[in-house]
């Protein structure tokens, strides 16, 4: 996605697709370009879909940018699908993510009332997005969220290139390791394991992790910035 727009593709028919039907399906694909990007000069580097089986949550996506120009600011935006207009509208911007973003991934939503989003940048960042009550948002507009930084890890000590989810969150970076992340019952995140490139575990890796103490003040500062932007939005 080296251009400045996000393109959505959808099948006109939801019938099950068999390999022999691929040619016909290819002819039925409808291109729906969306020019709601991150800005006039930012190129898109990654996208993550957040489909929901619950009618309480509309489908949404996160779009990231790895633009490293000095004038580039926020690198991640959240878009939400509107059934009435059949288009995606911008819902939120992660103002604290200003470094180039290489990957983004929503965690599977297994009945939670909020969403979890992992970002791969110079470190690993995990955000929670809690929907604001409908009566506090504009009528008919996209859902607004209370955005919190749940965790920030620099354990890779290098650029982080990929993040993914199953039961746990995973990340990989230039250090050549895959790290597993998980929250306990108190929502405290830590590294629960480290894997080498060949899939074998690093000895004692289950005891390593936790948020780097030096990042504590950074998380506080970033959270204050988020709270400030949310407060400004409510009073505007």
* Residues contacting 67, CB < 8 A, separation 6+: 38, 41, 42, 43, 45, 75, 100
pLDDT value of position 123 = 93
Which of these, 92, 78, 38, 62, lies nearest to 165 by C-alpha position? Answer: 62
- Residue 130's Cβ-side half-sphere holds a number of Cα atoms within 13 Å equal to 7
| pTM, full prediction | 0.72
Of 53, 107, 50, the closest CA to residue 79 belongs to 50
- Tell me which residue of 146, 143, 137 sits closest to 80, measured CA to CA: 143
pLDDT in tens, 93-118: 999 998 999 999 999 887 788 899 99
CA distance 52 to 58: 7
Quick one: pLDDT at residue 33? 43
Q: Confidence band (pLDDT; 50, 70, 90) for 53?
A: low
- Summarised one tens digit per residue, pLDDT across range 138-162 is 556 778 889 999 999 999 999 999 9
pLDDT at 91 over 60: yes
What span, in angstroms and rounded, lies between the C-alpha atoms of 150 and 181? 12
Task: Report the percent of the chain where pLDDT is more than 90.
Answer: 31
Confidence of residue 5 (pLDDT cuts 50, 70, 90): low
Neighbours of 75 (CB within 10 A): 29
Distance from C-alpha of 189 to C-alpha of 192, rounded to nearest angstrom: 9
């Amino acid at each position: 996605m080296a251009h400045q727009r996000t393109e959505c593709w959808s099948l006109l028919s939801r019938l099950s697709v068999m390999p022999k039907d691929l040619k016909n399906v290819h002819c039925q694909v409808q291109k729906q370009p969306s020019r709601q990007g991150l800005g006039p000069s930012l190129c898109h580097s990654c996208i993550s879909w957040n489909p929901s089986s619950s009618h309480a949550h509309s489908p949404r996506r996160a779009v990231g940018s790895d633009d490293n120009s000095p004038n580039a600011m926020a690198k991640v935006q959240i878009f939400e699908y509107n059934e009435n207009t059949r288009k995606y509208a911008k819902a939120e911007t992660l103002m604290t993510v200003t470094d180039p973003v290489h990957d983004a991934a929503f965690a599977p939503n297994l009945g939670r009332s909020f969403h979890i989003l992992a970002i791969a940048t110079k470190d690993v960042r995990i955000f929670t997005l809690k929907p604001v009550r409908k009566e506090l948002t504009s009528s008919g507009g996209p859902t607004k969220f209370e955005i919190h930084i749940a965790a920030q890890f620099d354990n890779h000590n290098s650029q982080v290139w990929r993040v993914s989810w199953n039961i746990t969150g995973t990340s990989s970076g230039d250090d050549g390791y895959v790290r597993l992340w998980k929250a306990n019952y108190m929502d405290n995140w830590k590294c629960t394991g480290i894997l080498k490139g060949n899939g074998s575990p690093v000895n004692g890796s289950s005891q390593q992790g936790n948020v780097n103490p030096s990042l504590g003040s950074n998380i506080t500062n970033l959270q204050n910035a988020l709270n400030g932007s949310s407060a400004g939005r409510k009073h505007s």
